[in-house]
Structure 1
Amino acid sequence: MLSLEDVLAARERVDAVARRTPLEYSHTFSEITGASVHLKLETFQRTGSFKIRGATNRVATLSAAETERGVVTASAGNHAQGVALAASRAGVHSTIVMPTYAPISKVDATRRYGGDVVLHGLDYSEAQARAREIEAAEDRTYVHAFDDELVMAGQGTIGLEIAEQCPEVDTVVVPIGGGGLIAGVATALKGRLDDVRVVGVQAEGASSAAESLRKGSPQELASVDTIADGIAVRSVGERTFPVIRERVDEVVTVSDEEIAVAVTKLLERSKTLVEGAGAVPLAATLERAFDYEPDETVVPLLSGGNIDMNTMTTVVMRGLVEMGRYLKIRTELKDRPGSLERLVEVVADANANIFAIRHDRTSRDIAVNAAEVEVDLETHGHEHAAEIVASLEEHGYEVDVLA
């Protein structure tokens, strides 16, 4: 099983390429939770995520023959970039298989780092199957995204940094996809600190580790469905599972709505851009998915910031809806002069800001002498949104809340 010595051996190789990322106290999230929250900002890492660590350690240990033949891997995006950069720096050719619908920003970045990208399959598992075919056909070395002790050891160097930067830490919260990150981090932390707790977090739509722990062996999900594409993995690893079972204290799940809120709050309050997978530790902390005491020192590991800009727009909008900061409504107006102005006056009197209005006379679902109107509103919270709807209804409007 992976050991502290493996992580320590990886450190010198990793330090030659990866950055030592900051760990910062958050006044905002400490005030919200009552805990002493320190954010481990792996979002500032080279390639935008922790994956460069494990990839660097694996590529650095290739034999001369393996170096000449090159490497291949499968990834939804972050591991792809890590392997591409690590291989390019070492003079090794890399072929990266990514799911067909991988974020465009991650595909483009992988190519810029020097990887030859092959798009195949609907998710990580199908991309991995294609990468294994290339491995066999071209005699390349497969660099697994998580189920490899050298990769796990490289990721574990984050745990060494946390132990040094925040030795008083009580709980470290870590995202789980296939388990390579948390296996390495837990190994480092348990080897360096006494009484530290490690909590793993998965998205509800990709909870293979949680399911595997319940059943006592690695379980493969039929499908995954989450905005956190970086941890959208059907199965925890065969090698990572025993480490998780032995060294991780608890595994919890969060919903996509909770992830969206965490992404939005990080962007708004901490001015930090974090992808869905990187935000799940904070989501679990904000939602108290695990128990912690007042003033307990909690370190959510924000593992990456490579969010596609189109995806970010959707996620932030969903986060605002969940926070009661955005309201979309639909109603009908009589198709006569002044009807729209009167609707706007009611909304203005309720102190709501209008983002957009869509006015449609052609819908088949309304009377010939009516118009359908959708209004997007900025609101101050759930109570304010409810007051706006109530005010409109008091003025005779039938309101459908769309978001």
Structure 2
Amino acid sequence: MEKYTFSPDNSDSDTNDSEDSLEDPVCNPNRPVKVTFEEITSAAYRIRTGIVNTPCIRSHLSSLTGMDIYLKKDFLQHTGSFKERGARYAMLMLSQEQRQRGVVAASLGNHAQAVCYHGYLLGIPVTVVMPIIAPIMKIQKCREYNANVIMEGKNMDEAKRIAVALSKEKRLTYINGYDNPQIIAGQGTIGLEILEQVEDIDAVVVPTGGGGLLAGIAVAIKTLNPNIKIIGVESERCASYAKAMENEKPVLTAIEGTLADGLAVPMIGYNAWETSKNLIDKMVTVREEWIAVAILRFIENEKCVVEGAGACGLAAILAGQLDEFKGKRVVLILSGGNIDTTILGRCLERGLAADGRLVKCKVTVSDRPGGISELCKLIGSIGVSIKDVIHERAWVASDVFSVEVKVVCETRDYLHSIELRDLLFSRYKKVKFDNFPLKSGVSSSTD
């Protein structure tokens, strides 16, 4: 693993020349490129033998949501995300000299893996700059494809600047993960496949980060069927496209840590904006707890692991933000499945808590023999599973013969949690539930 830092010649400065020198040459804010339908069909032809034509099948979640939902499972690509489409097309379009020199990219993970994998297949040297917050699993995968991995930068904006500086210093071709016109065209091939696989579509819901996937799919689908609604969805903690819509242009947006790390892009691409701005019917921002619940639903109902970015479409539906499509046919893009196992565990617990199925309470019980045992038996009597028990004596000031017991419980659903709460209140004087979810904030749970 190599470490890279700016040299004095390419460090930040207040001069416009220095700033311009670190801009992506194919993403010019003054001359944005609008990707055409013809470019997308060309991409589809060129990449057809190198990527998977992923299935788009009806979801078991249809009955749960009241919509006819189809899932485009692009996490079934070799590297686990849709990014392979654009990466392969961009690399196939390189000149022989560019192939020999190599390419450089900046990415939190999925774009990096895609470029590394197809660079490995095509014999093209690859360097990737990944922020220090990039998931460990994605870093390791890039190394497995013999890429030069540079861990540098606090976020994607810093990583991108380092990658662009490297491209100029070492004469490498920089491949922007969401705003390179060829990347956008490659991602648009998903739209062509969807229209071949599903009939009578009312809406397509697209996870949105830098805007490349949204732009490509919008062009492909709106060209062939302008009546289909294109819905973008992003986390409220990285709502860069929504900010662009407010300002009518891409603007730098503050981003926070999010379960949808693949969407954490501080500013959407100029080319992506120019291509998509007149084709989007609605942009939805979703809360983090709904993303966690959506990940949980996919595992329980579809038996598939989807990362936060890929779960955003379902999150918007579960949160009631797309209720206008009740009874209609909706396609969700499951864009990626690369999620760290440690993060997955946290997502599932957060999803259970948001769903009203993991609750934490404090109960003051008698400290005499059998007091805690009685509490556990009472909880178990209604079929509630106890996940953890902690008792404290020193901080119960009112009664030296009492002990405060903290209990984490897993229930079947929200109504089961209500039953537990009512039972404890009926038997004990001091009961407190932490963050007990309101019914209005909980979707229907699984049977």
Shorter-chain TM-score: which interval?
over 0.9
Residue by residue over 1:266-308, the C-alpha shift from the partner in whole angstroms, topping out at 9 and shown as x without a partner, is 1001111100000101111233313434431100111111111
8 Å contact from structure 1 (residues 32, 286) kept in 2: no
| Separation in structure 2 between the aligned mates of residue 365 and residue 147 of structure 1, nearest angstrom | 61
Look up the match of 1:182. 214
Report which stretch shifted further, 288-297 or 211-220: 288-297
CA RMSD, 1 decimal: 1.8
Of 18, 24, 28 in structure 1, the residue corresponding to residue 57 of structure 2 is: 24
The offset of 1:371, in angstroms, is 3.8
Alignment of 1:167-178 (within 5 A): 167-178=199-210
Residue by residue over 1:79-125, the C-alpha shift from the partner in whole angstroms, topping out at 9 and shown as x without a partner, is 01001011111111111111112111111112112322111222211
1:239 pairs with 2:261: no
Alignment of 1:215-226 (within 5 A): 215-226=247-258
| Separation in structure 2 between the aligned mates of residue 82 and residue 351 of structure 1, nearest angstrom | 46
Look up the match of 1:14. 47
| Separation in structure 1 between the aligned mates of residue 255 and residue 67 of structure 2, nearest angstrom | 35
Look up the match of 1:388. 420
| Separation in structure 1 between the aligned mates of residue 134 and residue 251 of structure 2, nearest angstrom | 24
Q: What letter is aligned with 1:201?
A: V
1:358 pairs with 2:405: no
Look up the match of 2:245. 213
| Separation in structure 1 between the aligned mates of residue 47 and residue 105 of structure 2, nearest angstrom | 19
Residue by residue over 1:365-400, the C-alpha shift from the partner in whole angstroms, topping out at 9 and shown as x without a partner, is 897665442222111222321332232232225233
Q: What letter is aligned with 1:55?
A: A
Task: Provide the aligned length of Structure 1 versus Structure 2.
Answer: 402
Q: Percent identity?
A: 37
Report which stretch shifted further, 191-200 or 142-151: 191-200
| Separation in structure 1 between the aligned mates of residue 199 and residue 185 of structure 2, nearest angstrom | 20
8 Å contact from structure 1 (residues 13, 57) kept in 2: yes
The offset of 1:56, in angstroms, is 0.4
Look up the match of 1:281. 313
| Separation in structure 1 between the aligned mates of residue 248 and residue 272 of structure 2, nearest angstrom | 13
Look up the match of 1:130. 162
Report which stretch shifted further, 329-338 or 255-264: 329-338
| Separation in structure 1 between the aligned mates of residue 253 and residue 306 of structure 2, nearest angstrom | 26
Of 296, 301, 304 in structure 2, the residue corresponding to residue 264 of structure 1 is: 296
Do the aligned partners of residues 234 and 224 (structure 1) sit closer, same or farther apart at CA in structure 2, a change above 3 Å counting?
farther
1:346 pairs with 2:378: yes
The offset of 1:326, in angstroms, is 1.1
The offset of 1:138, in angstroms, is 1.2
Look up the match of 1:312. 344
Look up the match of 1:248. 280
Alignment of 1:9-88 (within 5 A): 9-26=42-59, 28-88=60-120
8 Å contact from structure 2 (residues 187, 213) kept in 1: yes
Do the aligned partners of residues 391 and 250 (structure 1) sit closer, same or farther apart at CA in structure 2, a change above 3 Å counting?
same
Q: What letter is aligned with 1:112?
A: E
Do the aligned partners of residues 117 and 361 (structure 1) sit closer, same or farther apart at CA in structure 2, a change above 3 Å counting?
farther
The offset of 1:339, in angstroms, is 1.4
Unpaired runs of 5+ residues, structure 2, are 1-33, 436-447
Look up the match of 2:443. none
8 Å contact from structure 1 (residues 176, 182) kept in 2: yes
The offset of 1:347, in angstroms, is 1.1
Normalised by the length of structure 2, the TM-score is: 0.86
| Separation in structure 1 between the aligned mates of residue 232 and residue 398 of structure 2, nearest angstrom | 50
Report which stretch shifted further, 184-193 or 148-157: 184-193
| Separation in structure 1 between the aligned mates of residue 434 and residue 398 of structure 2, nearest angstrom | 17
Look up the match of 2:26. none
Normalised by the length of structure 1, the TM-score is: 0.95
Secondary structure, counterpart of 1:129 in structure 2: helix
Q: What letter is aligned with 2:47?
A: V
Report which stretch shifted further, 45-54 or 280-289: 280-289
Of 345, 357, 376 in structure 2, the residue corresponding to residue 325 of structure 1 is: 357
The offset of 1:363, in angstroms, is 6.0
The offset of 1:160, in angstroms, is 0.6
8 Å contact from structure 1 (residues 99, 124) kept in 2: yes
Of 335, 353, 365 in structure 1, the residue corresponding to residue 367 of structure 2 is: 335
1:96 pairs with 2:120: no
| Separation in structure 1 between the aligned mates of residue 434 and residue 147 of structure 2, nearest angstrom | 43
8 Å contact from structure 2 (residues 396, 403) kept in 1: no
| Separation in structure 2 between the aligned mates of residue 314 and residue 201 of structure 1, nearest angstrom | 22
Unpaired runs of 5+ residues, structure 1, are none
| Separation in structure 2 between the aligned mates of residue 339 and residue 134 of structure 1, nearest angstrom | 66
Alignment of 1:193-212 (within 5 A): 193-212=225-244
| Separation in structure 2 between the aligned mates of residue 306 and residue 114 of structure 1, nearest angstrom | 19
Of 296, 299, 308 in structure 1, the residue corresponding to residue 328 of structure 2 is: 296
| Separation in structure 1 between the aligned mates of residue 169 and residue 353 of structure 2, nearest angstrom | 49
